[in-house]
Structure 1
Amino acid sequence: MSKEITSPQPYTSEAECLQYHSQLFKTFATGKTKSIKWRKWQLKQMWWMLVDNEKAITEALAADLGRHKFEALTSDLHGLKTDILEHLNHVEEWAADEPVSSAGFLMGTLGKARIRKEPLGVVLVIGAWNFPFLLTLQPVIAAITAGCCVVVKPSELSVASQNLMQDLVGRYLDPEAIRLVTGGPQETTKLLELKFNHIFFTGSTKVAKYVAAAAAKHLTPTVLELGGQGPAIVTAKADLDLAAKRIAYAKFLNAGQICLSVNHVFVDPDVHDAFVNRLHYWTQKFSGGESSHMCKIVNKRNFERLSGLLEETSGKVFQASVKEGDNMLSPTVVTDVSIDDSLLSEELFGPICPVIKATYKDAVHQTNSGPHPLAIYIFSSSRSEINYVLQNTISGGVTINDVLMHYGVPGAPFGGVGDSGQGYYHGKYGFMAFTHQRTILEMPTWMDKLMAFRYPPFDMKNMNNFVVKNNLGFRRGETMEDQVIGGSRSWVWAGLGVLVASAIGVAMKNPNSFHPELAPDAGASPAEDLIAIMPLILF
């Protein structure tokens, strides 16, 4: 890899940022990015950007994080290419107007009620350093699919990836609608002073609070993809070898620098020693003594932070044998860890695995004493134990008897809750994050006579048209236990729909069908008859 890519480059100037910001708003105003053709073309260009530059991307990830080529291809590139194909395949479906199926005959059939998916506008995507391509470009894919213009801000900590991305985005994607800017905390702070229509941030909870505060000044909506101290809970009924194997894999992948990684492990006291024995085995097995298969800590500051936490721990430390290198921290397991240990004072974000003796119920209690984590991992063969953890915890997601896997469930949302994040993305959920759902209704002008009762001067006789009846059948005096839980009344509404449609048809053909006693010269009209069934149509 060239020195130009791996060495720090001058950050984007404030003047350039202002120029790009203005340019993108002008582009969005033209409607250019709303075109499905434009969206699909940009997604295809990103595909070729990844395919053409696979070697350069894997080299950049190796330079920044010491990432093995296999890990780079399977984590960053595979996920991005899969995302591009999914969005290309569904963009027309997701962007199409959606009829409101529950709108009824009046608003649905006659008023053509529908939801239009409109791009929010000019959006800012701030990426993370731990998966610099995946976590920066994934939300960009969603924003492009939604029809937005995008300012892309990769992390300055992954220097080689940032510099390469700046070159590639400028060469492959539409510069009138997509611009990449670089900068550190000072430059990012200035960037956040500008008004955007949406901000998507991936990073730490601490920085997210600054992003959210800056966004609030402009009432800008945000998606915040954060992290937290996500536990693995290993019960006495778990497959201990499999649990240890999968936890070691997740904990030391990317040197533990993953927002979804296992932060610490709760293990039932009855199986603690057996589990730790297998965890030691897999920790050494996966490291293999080869530092080329292990990622490094991103920079000296984080390396020293992790080393300091290890020095302060009162637990028993086991480290795998790995060849030393710059910012290389050996995979580490720490046992006899107390709840107030230094290793549990913050999200570790490194290859250190504290193990705490605790029953699954105690583990739930300890987990609930802190902020909601991004993920919880449950290892057990007992359905009652699994259900207990699920029912008594809150987290962004859960994987049972494995790790990380819920991140990649097709068609499912991914995101945190509370301190671990807000909002969702992946697939259609990412598209919707950058989309405004605009309700559209076209009321026929001839309907005005049928709805004249809504205008002043008001006549209380017309209140009959607005009576809301308890058609669900619940009654005064029933107890909470008396309630019917489950089942469906959809057949009732389907039947009413048929009756209403039939009644309207009869009324339009025969104005006096509802009141046969009325003579033709009595002034009765379809409008008067329809008023009687208006509540059914409306509600």
Structure 2
Amino acid sequence: MGFSTTAEFDQAYQSVQSAFASGTTKNKEWRRRQLKRAWWMVEDNKKRICDALYTDLHKHYQEAYTGDCSNVQADILRTLKKLDEWTKDERPEKSDPLNFLGRATVRKEPLGVTLIIGAWNFPVSLLLQPMIAAIAAGCAVILKPSDVASATQDVLMEIVPQYMDQDAIRCVSAGSQEMGYILEHRFDHIFYTGSPNIAKIIHAAAAKHLTPVTLELGGQCPAIVAESANLDLTAKHIAVTKFMNSGQVCLNVNHVLVHPSLREPLVTDLIRHFDTFLGGKANSPDYYTHIINKRNFDRLENLLQKTSGKIVYGGQRDRQSLYFAPTIVTGVKPGDSLLSEELFGPILPIVDADFDTAISRTREGEHPLAIYAFTTQDAEKARILNETQSGGVTFNDCGLHIAGRDVPFGGVGNSGQGRYHGPHGILTFSHLLQKAHKMTAPVTPPFDRDGNDTTFAAGSKWVLGVGVLAVSALFVTRDQVVAFGSKWLK
């Protein structure tokens, strides 16, 4: 399937602009209907989606279904259940006593037309989960699937028009050249998941229109293994993370900083767990996700060729099939090629570092999306939280901090800006509109502009108004004053 033409994009852009302007997307029933149809879109096409993911990434059906289908459906059901709660107006607890004759509310207004740009590593969930939040917030949406995962892109381009309201939700395909044209247009919000390099291009384009952006990126997420760590569980959790999607996960463990005395037993446990996951064979390409394309394969190959470390496990790879086995490398020093960038692959460098050194090295680099610290000491946990900065921290596991229900997910600095998941996604696509309501009865002095005395009723309003104001500031709550004033100042 080819990319969308400029004429096709222009038509889609005008359609969603008109739909939002009409107020259609603000209707709660419209939002619910679209969310329900999105659930059925995934349900009816889950086999097609998983087959496409196998074509793009050689991803096993179970891993594909879990990572790109069931999580999306669970997100939809949760959003439907909580939609009214997450989108309702909010009342500040207290107001300035001088404004007691009014009341204030905060309304979540949809930002407008949003552009959501997906990623290739989870090409369905990283596109549809932001879409769910945007729809729930009441926005119109243009979806741009990753063109790198081309088979999955083609499926999405076909099924989105079949299920979603085509006036307000459109899916367009685009390569780098087409994206340049798309980014010339004004959007009310841009949501991008991918690499920092592309994020800078998108951010620069958005700045021309002062368009707010959410950037979900990545970084070199370290696993810090202290002397008190349970090595077997540590190795198991690290191996699971590195095994998933062939390490092509933004929350993946990039490298391990381990106390020198624990390096050998940790590596032994890592090898044992990798063997277990691979059915007892280090070289097992049949049920293991492959690298997305030759460009990324060559990047990993080049980094591995340049390392000064030693491959102690794995290392098998085949450029033709894009299979790259889980690979453990020891003896990696600061400045090594394997520490020069986010690996985003199945290579696991092991770096000797005591706890102090691990913290200092983590602080030296860009802020990662996550830090995984394996320790049983509360003092060490406190140091991780107080002396480092990251998108999130998990102790004695990997990625657990994003598994909590309705917790915000996002990076900081080079690992991203903004957040979503649960109610935080709705806030991302919303403007918090402040509404103030003032009583219509005037509070005036007992004389007019010409100096003439006015009626007793008008004067009594003034006296009563000032009196109530004074009393309210000292004795009564805002709600009581509003009720009192409303009754007597009519």
Common topology (TM > 0.5):
yes
User: 1:527 is matched with which residue?
Assistant: 465
1:477-496 alignment, distance < 5 Å: none
Pair 1:359 & 2:354 matched? yes
- Whole-angstrom distance in 1 between the partners of 2:400 and 2:159: 30
Find 2:61's aligned residue among 69, 79, 84.
69
Could you tell me whether the CA contact under 8 Å between 1:125 and 1:151 is conserved in 2? yes
CA apart distance, 1:318: 2.5
Local SS of the residue matching 1:399:
strand
- Whole-angstrom distance in 2 between the partners of 1:51 and 1:523: 64
CA apart distance, 1:200: 0.3
Could you tell me whether the CA contact under 8 Å between 1:334 and 1:352 is conserved in 2? yes
Could you tell me whether the CA contact under 8 Å between 1:107 and 1:441 is conserved in 2? no
- Whole-angstrom distance in 1 between the partners of 2:127 and 2:375: 35
Pair 1:287 & 2:225 matched? no
- Return the letter of the residue paired with 1:307: E
Structure 1: gaps spanning 5 or more residues: 1-8, 456-510, 512-520
- Whole-angstrom distance in 2 between the partners of 1:58 and 1:531: 66
Cα deviations across residues 184-218 of structure 1 (Å, max 9, x unaligned)?
11111211110000000000011101111111100
> How many equivalent residue pairs?
462
Find 2:387's aligned residue among 392, 396, 401.
392
User: 1:517 is matched with which residue?
Assistant: none
Find 1:423's aligned residue among 413, 418, 432.
418
Local SS of the residue matching 2:103:
coil
User: 2:247 is matched with which residue?
Assistant: 256
Local SS of the residue matching 1:273:
helix
User: 1:334 is matched with which residue?
Assistant: 329
Could you tell me whether the CA contact under 8 Å between 1:126 and 1:136 is conserved in 2? yes
CA apart distance, 1:375: 0.2
- Return the letter of the residue paired with 1:53: N
Taking structure 1 as reference, are residues 287 and 525 closer, same or farther at Cα in structure 2, changes over 3 Å only?
same
Percent identity of equivalent pairs: 46
1:214-293 alignment, distance < 5 Å: 214-288=205-279, 289=281, 290-293=284-287
User: 1:458 is matched with which residue?
Assistant: none
User: 1:177 is matched with which residue?
Assistant: 168
Cα deviations across residues 162-185 of structure 1 (Å, max 9, x unaligned)?
000010101110000000010111
CA apart distance, 1:157: 0.3
User: Which range moves more in the overlay, 17-26 or 220-229?
Assistant: 17-26
User: 2:24 is matched with which residue?
Assistant: 32
User: 1:310 is matched with which residue?
Assistant: 304
- Whole-angstrom distance in 2 between the partners of 1:259 and 1:404: 10
Taking structure 1 as reference, are residues 524 and 167 closer, same or farther at Cα in structure 2, changes over 3 Å only?
closer
CA apart distance, 1:525: 2.1
Could you tell me whether the CA contact under 8 Å between 1:397 and 1:406 is conserved in 2? yes
Pair 1:51 & 2:43 matched? yes
Taking structure 1 as reference, are residues 387 and 528 closer, same or farther at Cα in structure 2, changes over 3 Å only?
closer
- Return the letter of the residue paired with 1:98: E
CA apart distance, 1:323: 8.4
User: 2:483 is matched with which residue?
Assistant: none
- Whole-angstrom distance in 1 between the partners of 2:171 and 2:160: 7
Which entry has the higher C-alpha Rg, 1 or 2? 1
- Whole-angstrom distance in 1 between the partners of 2:403 and 2:69: 14
- Whole-angstrom distance in 1 between the partners of 2:141 and 2:335: 44
Taking structure 1 as reference, are residues 522 and 111 closer, same or farther at Cα in structure 2, changes over 3 Å only?
closer
Find 1:154's aligned residue among 142, 145, 150.
145
- Return the letter of the residue paired with 2:144: K
- Whole-angstrom distance in 2 between the partners of 1:65 and 1:90: 34
User: Which range moves more in the overlay, 183-192 or 323-332?
Assistant: 323-332
User: 1:80 is matched with which residue?
Assistant: 72
CA apart distance, 1:15: 1.2
User: 1:299 is matched with which residue?
Assistant: 293
Cα deviations across residues 232-253 of structure 1 (Å, max 9, x unaligned)?
0001100001101110110121
Cα deviations across residues 130-173 of structure 1 (Å, max 9, x unaligned)?
00001011000000101111000011000111000010101110
Structure 2: gaps spanning 5 or more residues: 450-456, 479-490
User: 1:516 is matched with which residue?
Assistant: none
- Whole-angstrom distance in 2 between the partners of 1:368 and 1:97: 41
Could you tell me whether the CA contact under 8 Å between 2:443 and 2:461 is conserved in 1? no
CA apart distance, 1:448: 3.8
- Whole-angstrom distance in 1 between the partners of 2:316 and 2:164: 41
Could you tell me whether the CA contact under 8 Å between 2:232 and 2:269 is conserved in 1? yes
User: 1:462 is matched with which residue?
Assistant: none
User: 2:130 is matched with which residue?
Assistant: 139
CA apart distance, 1:445: 2.4
Pair 1:11 & 2:6 matched? no
- Whole-angstrom distance in 2 between the partners of 1:231 and 1:67: 25
- Return the letter of the residue paired with 1:22: Q
The Cα RMSD (Å) is 2.1
User: 1:410 is matched with which residue?
Assistant: 405
- Whole-angstrom distance in 1 between the partners of 2:201 and 2:115: 15
- Whole-angstrom distance in 2 between the partners of 1:523 and 1:228: 64
- Whole-angstrom distance in 2 between the partners of 1:42 and 1:303: 39
- Whole-angstrom distance in 1 between the partners of 2:151 and 2:461: 82
CA apart distance, 1:320: 2.9
Cα deviations across residues 237-287 of structure 1 (Å, max 9, x unaligned)?
000011011101101210100000000000011211111111122223222
Find 2:86's aligned residue among 89, 94, 99.
94
- Return the letter of the residue paired with 1:439: Q
- Return the letter of the residue paired with 2:213: T
- Higher RCO, Cα 8 Å, sep 6+: 2
- Return the letter of the residue paired with 1:344: L
CA apart distance, 1:345: 0.4
Find 2:368's aligned residue among 373, 388, 411.
373
- Whole-angstrom distance in 1 between the partners of 2:236 and 2:59: 20
Could you tell me whether the CA contact under 8 Å between 2:97 and 2:472 is conserved in 1? no
CA apart distance, 1:527: 2.6
Cα deviations across residues 72-96 of structure 1 (Å, max 9, x unaligned)?
1221112101100011111122222
Taking structure 1 as reference, are residues 342 and 103 closer, same or farther at Cα in structure 2, changes over 3 Å only?
same
CA apart distance, 1:523: 11
CA apart distance, 1:319: 3.2
